[in-house]
């Protein structure tokens, strides 16, 4: 399980980029979507989420803007940039390569 959580940690950036690929979103919504998708088996910690947002924004992969909610607190939305889309597809391909490679190595031993 340690290895599992390490793998997941390496893909935090890509998880967020994947969520933003379809539409702009904000912290809680992204986390909730991932939670729903995995049937509550996985959810990012909020602190990790904000740290990742800052890192991605600093690198120019996403941009942020404030929503204009009429009620309650303002939400900070994030949108993916062209650079972010490139990174997403690069990471996706890396993952597919790694996955098929690991599959081959592991399944050959059976």
Partner 1 sequence: MNSKIKNYVDVVFKDVPRSKKAIELKEEIASNLNERFEDYLKEGKSETESYGLAVANMGDIDEMIREVMPNEDFVKEANTYRRRNARNTAIGVCLYILGAAALILFSIIGEQVGMDDLGGALGVIVLLVLAAIATSLIVYSHMSTPKEYKDYEDSQEQELKSMKPKDRKIFEAISSIYWLIVTAVYLLISFLTHAWGITWIIWVISGIMHQIIVVIFQLKGTNE
Q: Which residues bind partner 1 (CB under 8 A)?
A: 26-28, 32, 43, 45-48, 50-51, 54, 72-76
Of 36 and 103, which has the nearer Cβ to partner 1?
A: 36
The CA distance from 25 to 23, in Å, is: 6
Least distance between partner 1 and beta carbon 50 (Å): 5
How does DSSP assign 31-44, residue by residue?
HHHHHHHTTTS---
Least distance between partner 1 and beta carbon 74 (Å): 6
Least distance between partner 1 and beta carbon 7 (Å): 18
Q: Do 26 and 20 contact (CB within 8 A), yes or no?
A: no
The CA distance from 109 to 77, in Å, is: 47
Of 27 and 85, which has the nearer Cβ to partner 1?
A: 27
Least distance between partner 1 and beta carbon 25 (Å): 11
Of 46 and 94, which has the nearer Cβ to partner 1?
A: 46
How does DSSP assign 48-61, residue by residue?
HHHHHHHHHHHTTS
Of 54 and 99, which has the nearer Cβ to partner 1?
A: 54
The CA distance from 64 to 26, in Å, is: 9
């Amino acid at each position: 399980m340690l290895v599992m959580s390490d793998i997941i940690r390496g893909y935090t950036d890509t998880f967020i980029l994947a969520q933003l690929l379809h539409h702009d979103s904000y912290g809680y919504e992204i986390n909730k979507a991932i939670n729903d998708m995995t049937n509550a088996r996985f959810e990012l910690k909020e602190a990790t989420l904000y740290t990742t947002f800052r890192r991605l924004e600093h690198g120019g992969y996403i941009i942020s803007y404030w929503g204009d909610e009429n009620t309650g607190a303002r939400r900070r939305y994030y949108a993916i940039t062209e650079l972010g889309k490139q990174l997403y597809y690069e990471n996706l391909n890396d993952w597919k390569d790694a996955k098929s490679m690991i599959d081959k190595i592991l399944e050959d031993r059976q």
